A and B are shown apart, each in its own frame.
Chain A
Amino acid sequence: MEHAEQPHTAPDGDHPLPSAAHGQQHPLGIYFKIWGLLFVLSAASYMVDYLHVQGLLRWFLIVVFMLLKAGLIVSVFMHMLWERLALVYAIVVPPLLLLVLMGIGALEGDYTFLTRGLFLSP
Chain B
Amino acid sequence: MNEAIDTAAALPEVQAEGWQSIVADASSDQRLFKGVPWGKPMMWIFLLSDTFIFGSFLISYMTVRTSTTVPWPNPSEVFSLTMFGRSVPLLLIAIMTFILISSSGTMALAVNFGYRRDRKTTFWLLLATAVLGATFVGMQTLEWTKLIHEGVRPWGNPWGAAQFGSSFFMITGFHGTHVTIGVIFLIIVATKVRRGDLDLQRHGFLTGRRGNYEIVEIMGLYWHFVDLVWVFIFAFFYLW
Q: Which residues of A contact B (CB under 8 A)?
A: 1-8, 11-14, 16-17, 19-20, 22-26, 28, 31-32, 34-35, 38-39, 42, 45-46, 48-50, 58-59, 62-63, 65-66, 69-70, 73-74, 76-79, 83-87, 89-91, 94-95, 98, 101-102, 105-106, 108-113, 116-117, 120-121
Contact = CB atoms under 8 A, between A and B. Distances in A.
Interface string B86-118: 000110001001100110110111011001110
Given A89-B22, A98-B55, A22 B36 contact: yes
Given A46-B94, A90-B44, 18 more contacts: A3-B212, A22-B35, A22-B36, A23-B213, A24-B111, A25-B116, A45-B234, A49-B89, A49-B238, A58-B239, A66-B231, A70-B232, A78-B224, A86-B33, A87-B41, A91-B45, A95-B48, A98-B55
A3 B217 CA distance: 14
A73 B112 CA distance: 15
B128 interface: no
Nearest to A79: B217
Contacts, number: 205
A36 to B, nearest CB: 9
B120 interface: no
B232 to A, nearest CB: 6
Contacts of A22: 35-37
B58 to A, nearest CB: 9
